[in-house]
């Protein structure tokens, strides 16, 4: 018993130190350190002017990222212009690019009051230091040819109507229409809270403007998001092939 | 009018596949004297799995938000759109052209500013859109478009006058504990993030050159340069620090007392200044030390009582 008592008394300070350590970790959380542009055995030195030639040169110990071209000072009076394009601080390893996983989607044969869907990816690269946005707009609602027979743009569940700028849950099978959900990089997670949140596309025929699907301020090397299309038709929806066109527009920020 | 965004219809059977394109550079800035002509070459690449038809257009834009996102205005058809043309022999603005899979081409954009053009800025986007293909038995055909922003200043002056003001300079809500006037109470172990906006009240776009500096008793403690973002005429722009985009000062363990934080914007012919004071105190260190002392003293007391009882 004496031995156990001694062990107990010895353990008290250890418990106290442990408690203090836990408190310290809670109050001073460990954070990752991020650094950019300087790493390894050499240097990256950046200079800015107009690109006639640009790129990264060097050997194993030194790397120079540089541009060669027209200097700015004193040129304006003689030439009548001053240019800046692709200047160094916006340079990335690749040009601004945008791609869609497919150029057409099929929702298949839709069954009344049953959700049908399809998805594809949107990928943006080389957005540079300022960031980018991807917007979308449809030419019109899904319709058969030039007829007036349409699948309307969704308003989502009746109690929380979604709009081209605001997503809301769409789980009710008696709510008919066509819309989309977004997930992945640079998607507004506050709007597309989960996979049940949908929006209708902005509709060109209704004079609406393209709406942002994904985007980010600041440097973006690569971002990929998934767009999920969803449709639900009423039992009275006429048979036929309903179609529209959706334009996705990737714009760099300035 | 937004139909202008939709490329010309080109019926053609096609298989569904990856649709992609790239355009470089993504921004072009110029200051041009009236009566001058300039040329800029853009490189367009078809990254799609198949041949694609594209259309290049110049579309005016207005500032869409304070983050530098343009808001395209295809329904605006100002006279100055006539200043833009493509000097390519086989590609014209607003007309379709074909690129094979993985083929690149150069778009030679010429901007011809007539001699009597008034001074001011012209903001537009060179937008290249894929022509939406007619694909049978699908629900939605999709087109991809990509843009490059064109910021033009028309002025006889090399450095036209600018007028920029800093507004709303303050630590973010989670960065300080208490505020009294322009003094913010902060903890010495918590990074202080700042937010600030610049307003361009002038007629021409400017760059957000400048720095966030932290001083104590007149001695510089920290300097962070601003990212050189473009602030368009009559618009606002959130200021960002280099390189992360965040304006931030990270006090050290030994930081204590009053720190003057200044934010300076400077251009060729204008400047703006804002400042605030942070009172840095070791609040977290004090809290942990106090708790530790309390815990240890309680243990000692309990142990002492136990040993007294035994005796």
Prior bond of B25 cis (ω within 30°): yes
A23 and B291: CB-CB below 8 Å? yes
User: What are the structural domains of chain B?
Assistant: 2-154 (2.60.40.10), 164-286 (2.60.40.10)
B158 and A89: CB-CB below 8 Å? no
B224 near A CB under 8 A: no
ipTM associated with this complex: 0.83
Question: The tokens of B182 are what?
Answer: 């322009």
Q: Are residues A142 and A61 in the same domain?
A: no
Does residue B135 have a pLDDT over 90? no
Any domain includes A103 = yes
Per mean pLDDT, which range of A78-87, A199-208, B81-90 is the poorest? A78-87
Q: Which residues of A touch B138 (CB under 8 A)?
A: 104-106, 243
> Which residue, chain included where needed, has tokens 């007629």?
B203
Supply the pLDDT for residue B16: 53
pLDDT band at A48 (very low <50, low <70, confident <90, very high): very low
pLDDT band at A38 (very low <50, low <70, confident <90, very high): very low
Q: Which residues pair with B266 in a beta bridge?
A: B271
Give me the CATH number covering residue A186.
Answer: 2.60.40
Q: Are residues A81 and A101 in the same domain?
A: no
Measured from the Cβ of residue B211, the count of other Cβ atoms closer than 10 Å reads 16
Nearest-CB residue to B143 (from A19, A208, A247)? A247
Any domain includes A239 = yes
Measured from the Cβ of residue B94, the count of other Cβ atoms closer than 10 Å reads 13
Chain A nearest CA to B258, separation (Å): 23
Q: Are residues A198 and A229 in the same domain?
A: yes
Supply the pLDDT for residue B53: 96
Range of the domain at A52: 44-90
Identify from B29, B108, B113, B142 which residue to disrupt to test chain A contact, counting A C-beta atoms within 10 A and taking the largest count: B142
Q: Are residues A86 and A137 in the same domain?
A: no
Q: Are residues A141 and A171 in the same domain?
A: yes
Any domain includes A50 = yes
Q: Are residues A74 and A120 in the same domain?
A: no
Instruction: Tell me how many domains chain A contains.
Output: 2
Cα–Cα distance measured from residue B54 to residue B41, given in angstroms and rounded to the nearest whole number? 17
Q: Assign 3-state DSSP to chain B and report helix, strand, coil percentages, each to 5.
A: 15, 50, 35
Any domain includes A10 = no
A20 and B288: CB-CB below 8 Å? yes
Cα–Cα distance measured from residue B72 to residue B254, given in angstroms and rounded to the nearest whole number? 50
Any domain includes A20 = no
Cα–Cα distance measured from residue B180 to residue B278, given in angstroms and rounded to the nearest whole number? 10
Supply the pLDDT for residue A3: 54
Any domain includes A179 = yes
Question: The tokens of B110 are what?
Answer: 């010429």
Q: Are residues A71 and A173 in the same domain?
A: no
* Cα A125 off chain centre by: 11
Q: Which residues of B touch A54 (CB under 8 A)?
A: none
Convert the pLDDT of each residue in B79-98 to its tens digit: 999 999 999 999 999 999 99
Cα–Cα distance measured from residue B106 to residue B45, given in angstroms and rounded to the nearest whole number? 9
Convert the pLDDT of each residue in B260-311 to its tens digit: 999 999 887 789 999 999 999 998 889 999 999 999 999 999 998 888 887 7
Q: Which residues pair with B170 in a beta bridge?
A: B195
Nearest-CB residue to A80 (from B36, B48, B144)? B36
Any domain includes A11 = no
Q: Are residues A79 and A115 in the same domain?
A: no
B105 near A CB under 8 A: no
């Amino acid at each position: 018993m004496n031995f156990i008592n001694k062990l107990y008394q010895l353990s008290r300070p250890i418990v106290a130190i442990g408690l203090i350590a836990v408190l310290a970790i809670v109050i001073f959380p460990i954070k990752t350190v991020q650094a950019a542009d300087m790493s390894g055995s050499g240097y990256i030195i950046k200079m800015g002017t107009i690109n006639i030639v640009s790129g990264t040169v060097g050997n194993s110990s030194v790397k120079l990222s540089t541009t060669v071209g027209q200097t700015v000072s004193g040129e304006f009076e003689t030439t009548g212009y001053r240019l800046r394009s692709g200047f160094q601080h916006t340079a990335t390893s690749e040009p601004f690019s945008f791609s869609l996983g497919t150029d057409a989607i099929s929702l298949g044969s839709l069954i009344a009051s049953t959700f049908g869907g399809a998805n594809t990816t949107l990928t943006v690269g080389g957005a540079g230091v300022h960031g980018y946005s991807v917007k979308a707009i449809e030419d019109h609602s899904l319709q058969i040819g030039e007829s007036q027979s349409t699948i309307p743009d969704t308003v989502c569940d009746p109690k929380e109507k979604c709009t081209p700028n605001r997503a809301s849950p769409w789980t009710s099978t008696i709510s008919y229409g066509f819309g989309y959900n977004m997930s992945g990089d640079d998607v507004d997670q506050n709007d597309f809270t989960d996979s049940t949140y949908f929006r209708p596309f902005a509709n060109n025929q209704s004079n609406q403007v393209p709406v942002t699907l994904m985007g980010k301020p600041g440097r973006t090397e690569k971002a990929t998001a998934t767009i999920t299309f969803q449709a639900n038709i009423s039992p009275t929806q006429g048979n036929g092939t309903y179609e529209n066109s959706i334009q996705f527009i990737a714009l760099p920020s300035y | 009018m937004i139909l202008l965004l939709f490329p010309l219809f080109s019926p053609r059977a096609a298989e569904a596949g990856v649709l992609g394109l790239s355009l470089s550079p993504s921004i072009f800035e110029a200051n041009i004297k009236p009566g001058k002509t300039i040329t800029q070459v853009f490189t367009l690449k078809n990254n799609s799995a198949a041949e694609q038809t594209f259309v290049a257009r110049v579309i005016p834009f207005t500032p869409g938000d304070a983050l530098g996102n343009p808001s395209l205005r295809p329904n605006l058809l100002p006279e100055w759109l006539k200043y833009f043309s493509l000097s390519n022999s086989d590609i014209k603005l607003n007309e379709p052209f074909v690129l094979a899979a993985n083929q690149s081409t150069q778009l030679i954009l010429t901007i011809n500013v007539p001699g009597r053009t008034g001074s001011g800025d012209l903001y537009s986007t060179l937008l290249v859109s894929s022509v939406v293909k007619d694909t049978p038995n699908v629900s939605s055909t999709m087109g991809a478009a990509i843009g490059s922003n064109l910021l033009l200043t028309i002025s006889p002056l090399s450095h036209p006058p600018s007028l920029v003001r800093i507004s709303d300079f303050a630590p973010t809500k989670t960065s300080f504990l208490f505020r009294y006037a322009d003094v913010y109470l902060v903890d010495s172990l918590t990074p202080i993030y700042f937010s600030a906006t610049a307003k361009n009240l002038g007629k021409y776009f400017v760059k957000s050159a400048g720095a966030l500096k932290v001083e104590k008793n007149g001695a510089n403690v920290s300097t962070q340069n601003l990212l050189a973002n473009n602030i368009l005429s009559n618009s606002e722009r959130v200021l960002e620090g280099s390189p992360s985009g965040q304006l931030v000062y990270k006090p050290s363990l030994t930081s204590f007392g009053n720190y003057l934080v200044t934010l300076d914007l400077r251009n060729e012919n204008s400047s703006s200044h804002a400042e605030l004071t942070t009172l840095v105190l070791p609040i977290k260190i004090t809290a942990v030390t106090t708790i530790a002392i309390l815990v240890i003293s309680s243990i000692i007391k309990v142990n002492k009582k136990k040993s007294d009882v035994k005796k």
